[in-house]
Amino acid sequence: MDISVVIPLYNEAESLPSLYEWLLRVMSEKGYTYEILFIDDGSTDGSWDVISGLHRQSPERVHGIRFRRNYGKSAALYSGFQRAEGDVVVTMDADLQDSPDEIPELYRMIQEEGYDLVSGWKKKRYDNRLTKNLPSKLFNATARRVTGIQLHDMNCGLKAYKRDVVKNIEVFSEMHRYIPYLAKNAGFTKIGEKVVQHRKREYGVSKFGMSRFVNGYLDLMTLWFLNRFGKQPMHFFGMVGSLMFIIGFVAVVVVAAMKLHALAIGVKAMLLGTNPYFHIAILMMILGCMLFLAGFLGELVIRNSQSRNDYLIREEL
């Protein structure tokens, strides 16, 4: 099979028939063998009835997965990735803001140019400039800086992947924003970008608010930390804890030495118990020990976990 189109959706009943007809036209013109996987993320507006009707029309091409409740876009994508069988997996949103006409070129870039992943870039957007456009630019600039992946629109829903990529990454929580980073961490480093058309929403309303930018930043920091220290927590907690302990210990020695010096020359000095610097120094030593122990316990958990072989094999003879 050439292409699997994975479409996560939540309350998009009005747009699904138009999207299906558009996909059908594009695929037929190019002669692709394909499947369309609609992932209903707990819709309450009759989206599943529409998907069921499309499946009855074309049971060999249209497949549907229905969640019991709204779990989020990451869970929907991961579920679709697990079931996709195409050589190239294309993801797109169901709100008609992503154009299926972009699929042939995305497919070509994967198959002919050898990209592991190609991400869409909505260079010209029709979103509200203040609430979505500017925050998105700031978000993507931060993501480029942290991940080292030079994509202008990492969160674009229109992407194409080699099948191996989607089968070897785990999309969880709200990490769908950082699938290119997940792919890079898994060893799929040939990541490209293509300018794609962004269309105005024809039906319904956006399901994402301003909170996605705050959550996105926190998720980015989580991914960075897990990639950097997830397998060796002692390298972070042990280093920071040791540094804090050493600074605290030196501060205690200095405070104590100043007290002894004052006593030696007969000058009245503050009692150690009332000296705030002494208490701060002791606190730093205690926190340093706790951080060091946290790193040590993290190492014990990782080294005794059941799944330690998380490497990916590229080829075998």
Considering the domain architecture, whether residues 9 and 137 belong to the same structural domain is answered as yes
The C-alpha atoms of residue 146 and residue 209 are separated, in whole angstroms, by 23
Residue-wise DSSP of 241-303? HHHHHHHHHHHHHHHHHHHHHHHHTT-----GGG-HHHHHHHHHHHHHHHHHHHHHHHHHHHH
Considering the domain architecture, whether residues 59 and 170 belong to the same structural domain is answered as yes
Using a cut of 0.95, tell me whether the model's pTM lies above it: no
Considering the domain architecture, whether residues 93 and 160 belong to the same structural domain is answered as yes
Q: Which of 229, 250, 285 is the last residue of a domain?
A: 229
Identify whether 317 is part of a domain.
no
Considering the domain architecture, whether residues 224 and 238 belong to the same structural domain is answered as no
The C-alpha atoms of residue 311 and residue 4 are separated, in whole angstroms, by 26
Considering the domain architecture, whether residues 109 and 15 belong to the same structural domain is answered as yes
Considering the domain architecture, whether residues 100 and 156 belong to the same structural domain is answered as yes
**Residue type (1 letter), 129:** R
Per-residue confidence (pLDDT) for residue 317, from 0 to 100:
43
The C-alpha atoms of residue 130 and residue 206 are separated, in whole angstroms, by 15
Identify whether 210 is part of a domain.
yes
Considering the domain architecture, whether residues 189 and 256 belong to the same structural domain is answered as no
Considering the domain architecture, whether residues 121 and 40 belong to the same structural domain is answered as yes
Considering the domain architecture, whether residues 172 and 188 belong to the same structural domain is answered as yes
C-alpha distance from residue 27 to each of 21, 91, 247 (Å): 10, 15, 65
Range of the domain at 149: 3-229
Considering the domain architecture, whether residues 72 and 149 belong to the same structural domain is answered as yes
Considering the domain architecture, whether residues 171 and 134 belong to the same structural domain is answered as yes
Considering the domain architecture, whether residues 223 and 245 belong to the same structural domain is answered as no
Q: Which of 229, 264, 279 is the last residue of a domain?
A: 229
Per-residue pLDDT tens digits of the chain, which is 317 residues long: 999 999 999 999 999 999 999 999 999 999 999 999 999 999 999 999 999 999 999 999 999 999 999 999 999 999 999 999 999 999 999 999 999 999 999 999 999 999 999 999 988 776 655 556 677 788 888 889 888 999 998 889 999 999 999 999 988 877 898 999 999 989 999 999 999 988 877 776 665 555 666 777 777 787 788 778 877 888 889 999 999 999 999 998 988 888 888 888 877 777 777 788 888 999 999 999 999 999 888 888 866 765 544 555 555 54
Beta-bridge partner residues of 40: 9, 66
Per-residue confidence (pLDDT) for residue 128, from 0 to 100:
59
Q: How far is the first Cα of the chain from the last one, in angstroms, to the nearest whole number? A: 25
Question: What domain count does the chain have?
Answer: 2
The C-alpha atoms of residue 110 and residue 90 are separated, in whole angstroms, by 10
Beta-bridge partner residues of 194: 120
